[in-house]
Chain A
Amino acid sequence: MTDAAVTLTGISKRYGAVVANDSVDLVLRRGSVHAVMGENGAGKSTLMSILFGLTEPDAGTIEVGGVERRFRGPADAIAAGLGMVHQHFRLFDSMSVAENVVYGAEPTRGALLDRRAAAERVRELSDRYGLGLDPDANVGRLSAGVRQRVEIVKALHREAEILILDEPSAVLTPDEVTSLFSVIRRAADAGTTVVLVTHKIQEVLAISDEVTVLRAGRVSGRFATAEVTGPQLIEAMTGRDVVPVSNAGARELGGIALSVDRATVVEQGITRLDDVSLTVRTGEIVGVAGVSGNGQHELVEAVLGAVALTSGTVEIAGTDVSSLDVRRRRLAGLAVIPEDRRGEGTAVTMTTAENITAGHHRSAPISGSGLAKGWLKRRAQREEATRLMADYDVRAESDQSLVGALSGGNAQKVVVARELSHGAPVLIAEQPTQGVDVGAIESIHTRLLEYRDAGRAVLLVSHEITELQALADRVVVLFAGRLVAEFSRAEATTARIGAAMTGGVTSGSGDAPEGRTA
């Protein structure tokens, strides 16, 4: 291809045992908008860090404008014509727009900053791309959308020909997203190559010319946007072969164990969860589908009590827990397998015994009773841990091994053992098999089905449609924080769920619009 602005060939990068990028090829056509998409942990961020010189690849080459380059740091990448707008802005709040834009590449008059030239430059770029920026405004007073434009102008000021936008819509309101798209379009029309890193399908379809999909560090799909459908992209993102575990179907449904009524979560003016109501009965697994970032995590945190509901109520096993803290909600009968194992599910610097008993350390057998209340019985703690490790097949050298030293699958089994072993009436499993090997997936799936069959309620949040189809008795779909569809087990086809995940369907069991087949 002669019009390639950037060509990445055979990029590989591993962090310890984790392969973040595995022989990734990426070609960015000059003047195009190229979306790089994939789930969290698919390797998008690593690939962009390599492209922008923040990380050196273990193998592979980078060509910019047909010349092979080796970036030792972002400065090299900037000199080669790259610019990056990070998800978290890197701006000085107390300084003006113009000062922020020229910082590091200032127009000078003698030894002094030429303020007039700086303001003029911002005005010129702002007009050319239709950004409407006031060079003298104080950055600290600007909204997220405007601050993002300041970052874009900052890159353009340094004559970036290739602009990387990392999850640019994550912090924006819908209106701001619309205006961001028109800025991207203008920049591309003016010859800038734009890389859009995202996991939101509707954005990819709305703005990009080409798409590269990553899954587990590899390229799993390359498409021209005009010729691809949402469900095809979802399949490329999530279509992992899951060892089928047969769900024989729920035997008998009991009463309502978990009830979420009109739950709304607004954070910093952005509605993350919008009027969601759902119930889970005992003996039932309800799946929550959705492309990540559409409110699933907020739903989990709102039920757990880690994030406050703006409005609405949550009932666990008949108790209204809306105003209770996490500990009392757990006591009321809730267990949670969190999405982010290292972030929320474990303390990697502590031992397996400590991790597998954490949260249950104030009750028997680990805590004493009566006068010994509040004391840890360390032998009992280790015995309990050893028992659970055997029960759940956690493979570690001993119960004193640090969780950080375990494989992903074994660390996840520690979480599963801790959350399942106490028989809480309601279990939330958020991405329970993310980043674990196939054997562990099968064992975790079996455990979840057994948990349901023991007469308990399970809310299963997953980005993997196949996982939901394998386990769930009922599937609801979240899109942009709203519950947009609900399917029975029989109705839950990939096409229907996929269409609802992209916002294509607003009502339940009707026929999904036929997409072009994959």
Chain B
Amino acid sequence: MSAPTTERTSRRLLASAVRHPAVVPVGAVILALLVGAAIVAAAGLDPVAAYVAVIEGAFDPRSLDYTVSVWAFICGMGLAAAIPLRMGEFNLGGNGQLVLGGLAAALVARVSPLPGPLTVLLALLAAAALAGAFGALSAPLATRLRIPIIISTLLLSPVAVAVVSFLVRYPLGEPGAAVAQTERLPDAAHLMSLPGLTYSNIGVIIIIAIMVAFYVVDSRTAVGFELRITGANRRFGTYAGIHTGRLAFGAMAAAGAAAGIVGAIIVMSPPYRLIDGALLSPGYTFAGLAAALLAGGRPALLPVTAALFAVLQVGGASMERSADVPRQLSDVLQGVVIIVLALRTVIDARRTGRAG
């Protein structure tokens, strides 16, 4: 074999390796970790110690229970992004859907005369319905008025957040409280706790069940097949007779319902109140979106990528304590991951644009 031939073969191998679908997501994570390390080092701190602290913090037996609950919430919000992403749509309205779910649960809990489990079920259904309807609203806006779903979800979300914030502050607010919050929900609306655990309750099981359902629908049903076809090539879907508008309606309703259920679970967990801002401040929506993007919307990968962000988020706090690195580093890492993933879209578009 002459040298040029071997060189060409190795270049071809390299080229096909670079095109492997796992390269970009894994590369994004590695790059993010390197950028994070560089920032920590530039601040004169020890990046290795920081990452060790993250891992130790997240997997500390005493807080593992908490890590699992954060993971579940990120999974839930990840579903809200991943379901539409499967058909190529971006749901950026997770925040609005999340708080509407919380609102619906709080309202149902307040008025429901039913015994415990039924009240919880009713609250979850109401949350799914209200948040699902809010999410689904973006589909006709896209099909009839040609407002892209990514835009309408992004712009409608703050409206819902503001409305819920107003309701919690005034009509539904606890009189005399220093914080804008509802009264403590009646006992019937408290989610069952799991034996021996403090943070993770039955809500974790519910979210896992929804993830399983998404996996089954995605891989085993006609609707899931249509979602994947539309995500792979929308024009092909149209030619094959898929009603993409109706599909978007269903996907956005399901996405909104998932976010709404997360909201309901948070409200029906300690401290059993809808508190203004408390649903949004942990940043589950953005972490879930990042996890969904990193998983490429694939149901089987979502729990894995969500675990990554859960570890960063929980471990970030202990990193702040023990390695003196601010926990905002977790947000920086999330941001870098998203930028790298977005770059791929741009590069793909360039590549196909040239092959004309």
Which residues of A approach B to under 8 Å, CB–CB?
15, 18, 20, 45-46, 49, 54-55, 304, 306, 325-331, 336, 338, 343-350, 354, 358-359, 361-362, 367, 374-376, 378
Contacts and interface: CB of A to CB of B under 8 A. Distances in A.
A347 B221 contact: no
A361 B239 contact: no
Interface string B217-233: 00111111110110011
Contacts of B225: 354, 358, 361, 376
B243 interface: yes
Contacts of B229: 347, 350, 354, 358
B238 A306 contact: yes
A347 B233 contact: yes
B239 A344 contact: yes
Q: Return the 5 tightest CB-CB contacts between A and B, nearest first.
A: A327-B241, A347-B232, A359-B240, A347-B233, A45-B356
11 contacts: A18-B355, A54-B354, A306-B238, A330-B241, A343-B236, A346-B236, A348-B233, A354-B225, A361-B222, A376-B221, A376-B222
Contact of B236 (A15, A328, A358, A376): A358
Contact of A350 (B232, B241, B242): B232
Contacts of B232: 347-350
Most buried by A among B220, B223, B235: B235
B236 A345 contact: yes
Contacts of A343: 233, 235-236
Most buried by B among A20, A45, A326: A326
Nearest to A334: B241
A304 B355 CA distance: 28
Contacts of A304: 239
Contacts of B237: 347
A203 B356 CA distance: 22
Given A45-B356, A347-B229, A325 B240 contact: no
A327 B226 CA distance: 13
A375 B220 contact: yes
The B contact surface, by secondary structure, is helix
Contacts of A374: 221-223
Given A374-B221, A376-B222, 18 more contacts: A46-B356, A49-B354, A306-B238, A326-B239, A327-B241, A330-B241, A331-B241, A346-B233, A350-B228, A350-B229, A350-B232, A354-B229, A358-B229, A361-B225, A361-B226, A375-B220, A375-B221, A376-B225
A358 B240 contact: yes
Given A346-B236, A348-B233, A15 B241 contact: no
Nearest to B241: A327
A345 B237 CA distance: 9
A358 B356 CA distance: 26
A479 B263 CA distance: 59
B315 to A, nearest CB: 35
Most buried by B among A18, A20, A54, A376: A376
Nearest to B233: A347
Nearest to A327: B241
Nearest to A48: B356
Contacts of B223: 374
A449 B219 CA distance: 37
Interface in B316-356: 354-356
Contacts of B356: 45-46, 49
B235 A344 contact: yes
Contacts of B228: 350, 354
Contacts of B236: 343-347, 358
Contacts of B238: 306, 326, 344
A198 B225 CA distance: 39
A416 to B, nearest CB: 14
Most buried by A among B220, B232, B237: B232
Contacts of B219: 378
A508 to B, nearest CB: 32
Contact of A345 (B220, B239, B354, B355): B239
